Amino acid sequence: MQREIEAKGIPTVLITVMPQESKSMRPPRAIYPVGHTMGRVLGVAGDVKTQKATLHAALKQFEQLHTPGQIIDITI
């Protein structure tokens, strides 16, 4: 889906908790928030500070050039 959205000219960023599996799909931009788990990619419920920090880290990826498939580890 990310490729189709990108093909329409809309930049995307993937937030993944399974970086090895995601890497094989070669997403244009991706982050791995270290320690986050499936179903809680932004952080645990109610942890607004971590959720905002994760979203901010994801949005920062639009400012950088990436090689498709490169996944940036983020520690929040």
Mean pLDDT of the chain: 94
Tokens of 33: 């928030």
Beta bridge partners of 37: 40
Q: Is the pTM of this model over 0.85?
A: yes
Q: Where are the domains of the chain?
A: 2-74
User: How far is C-alpha 35 from the chain's CA centre?
Assistant: 13
In the chain the beta strands, taken as DSSP E runs, fall at: 14-15, 30-33, 72-74
DSSP 3-state assignment of 6?
A: helix
Tokens of 9: 């000219």
Digit-coded pLDDT (tens) for 25-62? 999 999 999 999 999 999 999 999 999 999 999 999 99
